[in-house]
């Protein structure tokens, strides 16, 4: 079984993004409520953050709550928000100690005020950390993000702040929630589902995709390493030919 030591430190993905899926099914398999799966999902979050920091990954982005997740039963949404607040309180010291900086993407204003307050506190306290940037996607939807970028740019065009001929990819990037992040290099999705579910659609244009048939609460160091080793064995051509790369 591979461990963190087997990863080539010179060929790391700069930005790893994860769709953490399968908490509910993990709990169901054990005859428990879905909430039990989310509680154990938090442990997998802690493990993954710690392992990515140890590997010196620069950016880790986790899909923690989508815009569509608001449609789940009220009690499940409340539990997820409570878990978020409790985890932020509990992990602030560890994040700080490991030089990790926290950030968010998504419609943060739609979160309960307690969650917003806790997030602001951790984001402010870790703002000067220079190790890994951990980004939580909360109330996040990629189409919503793109729509809001288009609106902002259109408004600036209308007010003669930008001229249409100057709209390029860089301008679009600066209007996305992710303006402080590089493109995703490796996107991992757990639980065996092979879809993107409205996550970072613009930012994964050239990402390597890795789908693994393991529910999120069981995602371990070994699974993370397998994903990175798979990434390291792929040839990223960005539209060029193999010969051009060599
Ligand atoms: C997907 O499993 C998971 C989520 C929608 C939430 C992820 C949240 C956590 C891991 C806990 C809180 C997060 C942080 C950052 C502290 P699912 O419920 O969709 O599972 P299913 O597909 O089996 O139903």
Please tell me whether residue 208 adopts helix, strand or coil conformation. Answer: strand
Mean pLDDT of 124-144: 98
Residues forming beta bridges with residue 138, ordered by sequence position: 65
> What is the distance of C-alpha 150 from the center of its chain?
22
Ramachandran assignment for 31, one of left (phi > 0), alpha (psi -120 to 50 degrees), beta (any other):
left
Q: To the nearest 10°, the Cα dihedral for 87, 106, 222, 85? A: 10
Place of tokens 């204003």: 109
Give yes or no for residue 20 CB within 6 A of ligand 1: yes
The pLDDT score that the predictor gives to residue 221 is 97
Residue 168 is a catalytic residue: no
Please tell me whether residue 198 adopts helix, strand or coil conformation. Answer: coil
Distance CA 3, CA 8 (A): 11
Place of tokens 């979050």: 45
Residue 71 is a catalytic residue: no
pLDDT of 246 higher than 80: no
Which residue is catalytic, options 69, 98, 107, 173?
69
- Under the banding of pLDDT at 50, 70 and 90, the label for residue 237 is confident
- Rg over alpha carbons for the chain, rounded to the nearest Å, is 19
User: For ligand 1, what atom is nearest to the CA of residue 39?
Assistant: 11
Q: Candidates 17, 19, 23, 189: which one to mutate for ligand 1, based on the most atoms within 8 Å of Cβ?
A: 23
This prediction has a pTM of: 0.96
Distance CA 10, CA 208 (A): 17
Q: Is the separation of the CB atoms in 190 and 21 below 8 Å?
A: yes
Distance CA 80, CA 37 (A): 11
Q: To the nearest 10°, the Cα dihedral for 175, 177, 181, 184? A: -100
Share of the chain above pLDDT 70, in %: 100
pLDDT of 126 higher than 80: yes
Give yes or no for residue 19 CB within 6 A of ligand 1: no
Please tell me whether residue 146 adopts helix, strand or coil conformation. Answer: helix
Mean pLDDT of 68-93: 95
- 32-47 pLDDT, tens digit per residue, is 999 999 999 999 999 9
User: For ligand 1, what atom is nearest to the CA of residue 41?
Assistant: 10
- Under the banding of pLDDT at 50, 70 and 90, the label for residue 60 is very high
Give the pair of three-digit tokens for residue 183.
Answer: 């493109």
* 46 is annotated as contributing to ligand binding: no
Domains of the chain: 4-141+185-235 (3.40.1180.10)
């Amino acid at each position: 079984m591979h461990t963190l030591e087997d990863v080539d430190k010179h060929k790391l993905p700069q930005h790893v993004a994860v769709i953490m899926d399968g908490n509910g099914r993990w709990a169901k398999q054990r005859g428990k409520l879905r909430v039990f799966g989310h509680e154990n999902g938090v442990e997998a979050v802690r493990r993954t953050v710690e392992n990515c920091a140890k590997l010196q990954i620069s950016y880790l982005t986790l899909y923690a709550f989508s815009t569509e997740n608001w449609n789940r039963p009220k009690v499940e949404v409340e539990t997820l928000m409570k878990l978020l607040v409790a985890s932020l309180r509990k992990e602030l010291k560890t994040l700080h100690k490991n030089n990790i900086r926290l950030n968010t993407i998504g419609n943060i204003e739609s979160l309960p005020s307690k969650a917003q307050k806790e997030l602001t506190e951790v984001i402010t306290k870790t703002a000067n950390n220079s190790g890994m940037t951990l980004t939580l996607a909360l109330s996040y939807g990629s189409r919503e993000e793109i729509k809001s970028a288009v609106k902002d740019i259109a408004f600036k065009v209308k007010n003669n702040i930008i001229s249409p001929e100057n709209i390029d990819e860089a301008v679009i990037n600066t209007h996305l929630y992710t303006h402080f992040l590089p493109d995703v290099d490796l996107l991992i999705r757990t639980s065996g589902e092979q879809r993107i579910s409205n996550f970072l659609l613009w930012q994964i244009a050239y990402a390597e995709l890795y789908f693994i048939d393991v529910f999120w609460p069981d995602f371990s160091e070994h699974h993370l390493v397998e994903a990175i080793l798979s990434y390291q064995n792929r040839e990223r051509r960005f539209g060029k030919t193999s010969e051009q790369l060599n």
